Structure 1
Amino acid sequence: MRLPAFDLDVLRTFVTGVELDSFAKAADRLGRSTSAVSAQLKKLEDVVGAPVLARSGRGLVLTPLGELLLSHARRLLSLNDEVFAHLHGHKAHGTLRLGVQEDFGEHLLRDVLQRFTRVYPHINLEVRVGRSAELLPMIEGARLDVALTWDTGVSTPWATRLGQAPMTWIGSQDRHFIATRDEPLPLVLFEPPCVLRSAAIQALDAAGIAWRIALTSPSVAGLWAAVGAGLGVTLRTRVGLPAHLRVMDELPAMAQLGYVLHRASEQGSPAVECLAHMTAQALAAV
């Protein structure tokens, strides 16, 4: 018996709609009508044999089967795109500029850069690791082709929200802090503007916990060093969390923080699109 085959165009529509959290936006991104996208989703569910999306209020959410399909679909598309790019990538030359929020630098760059240079060995890469406040103006000024940042509430014309991570209080393994009126909680934070700095202060104020700024740093490495030295606590995510630090559950529970992929133009070169796709794939495993 011949097994049914997945249509990669249909899978791409499905994955794009989920990543954009809107199939109307997916239709616009992929150059299709909304009715064509609806027909593709119906075709996908016919192949799967069960619903992959369910209504929730005014929107759609993945069913358990849809969540499983999403993971497999991303891998299929990644393999398809990598094979296609590899067959053509050896002909491409030029320079591509990537910006990465510092939290993701060590965790993400090794995998993405290794994969990309195998496909595009003659493309020169310029990588800028920094804070969102530094990277977003570079995207807007076309000084970067692609940038991965935290969702700071500042949008760019061609941005895609890829996912989210819980904000987490982080402290030293060896020192515990109890905030009192006479001894406010010491904080180790980025210099403003910083979305995590603002979230930390707002949460502590709302909980009635006294605080003070013990140290500010322009880099994540500086934050980790200060927290490890016992100077105070910080608010980050678990992305890139050093093993010698601990998550502090005794402080106020925090919300999720989204991460966003920004492009300098609506449709970049094949190399730019390949790099953006590889970045999204790497983050799916975070």
Structure 2
Amino acid sequence: MASSTFSRAARTNLDLDTLRTLAVASDRGGLAQAAEHLGRTPSAISLQMKRLQEDLGTPIFRKRGRGLALTEAGEIALSYARRMLGLNDELLDKMHGANLAGRIRLGCPQDFASILPSVLSLFASLYPRMQIELHVDGNAALRDAIDNARLDVAIIIGHEDRAGAQIVGRLALAWIASSTFVLPKKQPLPLAVLGSQCIFRRTALQRLEAAHIPHRISANSHSLNGLWAALLGGLGITARTPLNLPEGLVCAESLHGLPPLGSLPVTLHRHAGSQGVTSDRMASLLVEALEFALQSNTATGSMALARNDVAPRVAKHKAR
């Protein structure tokens, strides 16, 4: 028992500041870059890394050309360092956040509403006294709300040219229709769409006009649920993301031989006056959730393409 107690007491306690330096050096591409970012001298950073190697009892760097690279042990150390720093930061956020009170106004398009529960749950656990005001709306309306200080943080599809926009990733688009939808013969392509400001609607119309494919608006809805109902009812075809696709609908990049739609940027916007710890944390949680959702969107789109893009082509619908 005495030996076990001595062993625990003799353990080395790693310095979190040194572990953070290791993580910064990895993110920035080297010790010199870490020194510049952290406002320290290169010799001070080198001394930190030397002490870390001594504490770990194994080399964590190897020479690579004129610089240094992580050894296998160094990669393991970096992985643990990130986990330890994450717990450290989460603990501090939770302790400090328990006393923060106020309101944060969040905007999100309907397509990404499914990522919100996990984001809101974690945010609420960190800042239990903060009031969250949630707005699910169209992209143009969200951008106007940011401009007019009615929102603090917003996810928006498109609008990457606006001041302060942070591009998080790109959203793959697809044509979507009922699994039983059949193209009408010798008639314009029927489209089910949202309002005139909808970026998906504009993208679809541009692609069809560029390909000289006759089309008409067969169904117009003010909500995403209304659009899904129109599609399931066989009223037409639409352009959108494969995210959260209801059962009974199929999608593909060139469904029924229609021209590919490409992708749109997904952007994060913050009002200039919404700086602060809670706003920063909400933004970081949204970015993390968005990146995961966009990866899933790409995978879903690829599978849908392989599964559904076998329908007849629409060359006969093109203007002669």
Please indicate, yes or no, whether the TM-score normalized by the shorter chain is above 0.5: yes
Matches within 5 A, 1:65-214: 81-105=89-113, 107-156=114-163, 158-177=164-183, 182-214=186-218
Query: What is the aligned-residue identity percentage?
Result: 33
Equivalent residues of 1:89, 1:119 under 8 A apart: yes
Q: How many pairs does the alignment contain?
A: 244
Q: 1:185 to 1:122 in 2, by over 3 A?
A: same
Matches within 5 A, 1:12-23: none
Equivalent residues of 1:186, 1:213 under 8 A apart: yes
Q: 1:167 to 1:134 in 2, by over 3 A?
A: same
| Separation in 2, partners of 1:72, 1:172 | 48
1:156-176 per-residue CA deviation (whole Å, 9 max, x = no partner) reads: 3x2211111111100001222
Once the 2 structures are TM-superposed, how far is the Cα of residue 81 of structure 1 from its aligned partner?
A: 4.3
Corresponding position of 2:68: none
Instruction: Give 3-state SS (helix, strand or coil) of 1:176's partner.
Output: coil
Comparing 134-143 and 77-86, the one that deviates more: 77-86
Equivalent residues of 2:193, 2:227 under 8 A apart: yes
The amino acid that maps onto 2:195 is: E
Once the 2 structures are TM-superposed, how far is the Cα of residue 225 of structure 1 from its aligned partner?
A: 1.2
Structure in which a larger fraction of residues adopt strand: 1
TM-score of the superposed pair, with normalisation by structure 1? 0.73
The amino acid that maps onto 1:162 is: V
1:71-113 per-residue CA deviation (whole Å, 9 max, x = no partner) reads: 99998876554333112110000111000011111x1111111
Corresponding position of 1:257: 264
Once the 2 structures are TM-superposed, how far is the Cα of residue 267 of structure 1 from its aligned partner?
A: 6.4
| Separation in 2, partners of 1:75, 1:155 | 35
| Separation in 1, partners of 2:81, 2:204 | 37
| Separation in 2, partners of 1:14, 1:77 | 14
Task: State which of 267, 276, 291 in structure 2 corresponds to 1:269.
Answer: 276
Task: State which of 224, 239, 244 in structure 2 corresponds to 1:240.
Answer: 244
| Separation in 2, partners of 1:195, 1:260 | 13
TM-score of the superposed pair, with normalisation by structure 2? 0.65
Instruction: Give 3-state SS (helix, strand or coil) of 2:165's partner.
Output: strand
Structure 1 gap segments, 5+ residues each: 18-22, 24-32, 52-70
Equivalent residues of 2:208, 2:214 under 8 A apart: yes
Corresponding position of 1:64: none
| Separation in 2, partners of 1:166, 1:115 | 27
Once the 2 structures are TM-superposed, how far is the Cα of residue 273 of structure 1 from its aligned partner?
A: 0.7
| Separation in 2, partners of 1:128, 1:137 | 12
Structure 2 gap segments, 5+ residues each: 1-11, 46-59, 65-78, 294-320
| Separation in 1, partners of 2:208, 2:286 | 34
Q: Is the radius of gyration larger for structure 1 or structure 2?
A: 2
| Separation in 1, partners of 2:35, 2:92 | 29
Once the 2 structures are TM-superposed, how far is the Cα of residue 194 of structure 1 from its aligned partner?
A: 2.1
Corresponding position of 1:20: none
| Separation in 1, partners of 2:107, 2:281 | 15
